Amino acid sequence: MPSGFVESLYVFVLAGFIGFEVIRRVSPLLHTPLMSLTNALDAIVVVAAIVIAGRQETRLSTLLGAIAVAASFSNMVGGFLITDRMLRMFKTSRPKKS
């Protein structure tokens, strides 16, 4: 078992707990923006895609990497955009506290 695996497992378990605690507190009102925001955050796989596409190991890996860059970057751009558009629509009828 490579040593990196155990480290990753630590990170995964801790992030899973944090995710659970933080996301549990998101109001059902915002469940759709929650899904589009986590989707945009998940598009961070673009960093792995950039390395695969830019390492120039084989023609295939460059091609697959470039497809992955395009797919995940469109999620990143589109995900943040639509989340912000949705959240801008949520207005309260109560006067703002200042």
Partner 1 sequence: MTAFTAGQLIDLAYLVAVALFILALKWLSSPTSARRGVLSGEVAAALAVIATLYNPEVIQYKWILIALVVGTGAGIPLGMVHMTAVPQRTALSHAFGALSAAMIGIAEYYVRAPRLTPFAMTEIALEVIIGSLTFTGSLIAAGKLQEILPQRPITYRGQNFVSLSVLGAAVVMAVFLIVHPEYVHLFPAMVLVSLVFGVLLVTPIGGADMPTVISLLNSYAGFSAALLGFVLNIKVLVVAGALDGSSGFILSVIMCKAMNRSFTNVMFGAFGQMQTPAGSAAAERTVRSATAEEAAAILTAARTLVIVPGYGMAVAQAQHKVRELFDILTRKGVDVKFGIHPVAGRMPGHMNVLLAEADIPYDKLLDMESVNPEFPQTDVALVIGANDVTNPAARKDAGSPIYGMPILDVDKARTVMVIKRSLSPGFAGIDNELYYLEKTLMLFGDAKTAVGEIVRELAGGGH
Chain positions 17 to 76 lying near partner 1, rule: CB under 8 A, are 18-20, 22-58, 60-76
Q: If binding is defined by CB under 8 A, does position 93 make contact with partner 1?
A: yes
Q: If binding is defined by CB under 8 A, does position 87 make contact with partner 1?
A: yes
Query: Site size for partner 1, by CB under 8 A?
Result: 86
Min separation Cβ 8 and partner 1, Å: 5
Which residue, chain included where needed, has tokens 């998940």?
A: 42
What does the angle CA 92 – CA 40 – CA 75 come to, to the nearest 5 degrees? 120
Min separation Cβ 21 and partner 1, Å: 9
CA distances from 9 to 4, 23, 41, 44, 74 (A): 9, 20, 20, 19, 29
